[in-house]
Amino acid sequence: MALERLQKILAHAGITSRRKAEQLILAGRVTVNGQVVTELGTKADPERDKIKVDGRPVRLPKEHLYLALYKPRNCVTTLFDPQGRRNLSDLLKGLPARVYPIGRLDYHSEGLLLLTNDGDFASAVLKASRRIPKTYLVKVNGMLTPEQEQKFREGVPLFGRRTPPAQIRLLERAANPWYEVTIQETRKDQLRLMFKHFGRLVEKVRRIKIGPVELGKLQPGEFRPLKPSEVAALRKLVESGDNTGRKRSPAQPAVDSHGKHR
């Protein structure tokens, strides 16, 4: 096999993304044939050379895995947590290869998370994440006025600038209503801060869609392989920059119960 850059090999092996692989190399956590490597331009042959990360051998996967997982509430979006909190490794049992998450979901939020051992695919999706629409069900402690809903759609001032335009739709008229919200940029606690801007506190957040991939009938802690058509649609969305995945019929229900029993 031809020589390849170490960060590309680590990404192909499902260790992490290329960007994070570079950090591992710079931190001196990668060895090739017993020698610590810290130069990003270093190349190796994954079939001939003995490559290790933190002393663990690196092996290229025989096949790529693409998964959709329902991350439960109070679970960190990592494969290990030094604080001992519930993490993704507690949920991912029986897989033939190690996978890692594409992106993240806040600790107190639940819902759809994508995972893979295809480093190039993960890097491409992460790079294009700001143009991939994500849809959430959000329960808050009071209704927005029509004027506030319109301002929500236009974007609110956060992080020193205005958030990109969003979609919002009232699903359940109640003292603690449910909204369906579609945004593209998803910074830490962004939805909670957007509603807080209008004096509303978020009680629950559930992500139900990422681009063309839907949460569907998955239950908390369950996962399923992505359909080939879903992987192809994600690739097309990433490569073309097409935002058609955000289109949704206003009359289409997000879930059967709107989260009433959750």
pLDDT tens digits, one per residue of 107-132: 999 999 999 988 888 888 988 888 89
Distance CA 180, CA 126 (A): 23
Whether pLDDT at 234 is above 80: yes
pLDDT top residue among 99 and 201: 201
Rounded percentage of the chain residues whose pLDDT exceeds 90: 60
Quote the pLDDT of residue 46. 86
Per-residue pLDDT tens digits for 122-159: 888 988 888 899 999 999 999 999 999 999 999 999 88
Could you list the residue range(s) of the whole structural domain that residue 199 is in? 134-210
From the list 106, 120, 189, 242, the catalytic residue is 106
- DSSP letters of 201-231? -EEEEEEEEETTEE-TT--TT-EEEPPHHHH
Residue type, 78: T
Q: Is 104 exposed, middle or buried (0-12, 13-18, 19+ CB in 10 A)?
A: middle
Per-residue pLDDT tens digits for 57-94: 988 777 889 999 999 999 999 888 889 999 999 999 88
- The average confidence (pLDDT) of the chain is 87
Q: For position 35, which CATH number holds? A: 3.10.290.10
Q: For position 198, which CATH number holds? A: 3.30.70.1560
DSSP 8-state secondary structure symbol assigned to residue 76: B
Q: Is residue 205 part of a domain?
A: yes
Distance CA 107, CA 104 (A): 9
Structure tokens at 116: 């893979």
Known catalytic residue at 118: no
Structure tokens at 108: 């107190």
Whether pLDDT at 259 is above 50: no
Whether pLDDT at 248 is above 50: no
Dihedral of alpha carbons 180, 186, 190, 194, sign:
negative
Quote the pLDDT of residue 241. 58
Q: Is residue 256 part of a domain?
A: no
Q: Is residue 167 part of a domain?
A: yes
Distance CA 96, CA 84 (A): 25
Overall number of domains in the chain: 3
pLDDT band at 1 (very low <50, low <70, confident <90, very high): low
Q: Is residue 144 part of a domain?
A: yes
Distance CA 125, CA 234 (A): 8
* The last residue of a domain, from among 163, 190, 210: 210
Q: What is the pTM of this model?
A: 0.75
Q: Which residue has the tokens 């929500």?
A: 152
Q: For position 70, which CATH number holds? A: 3.30.70.580
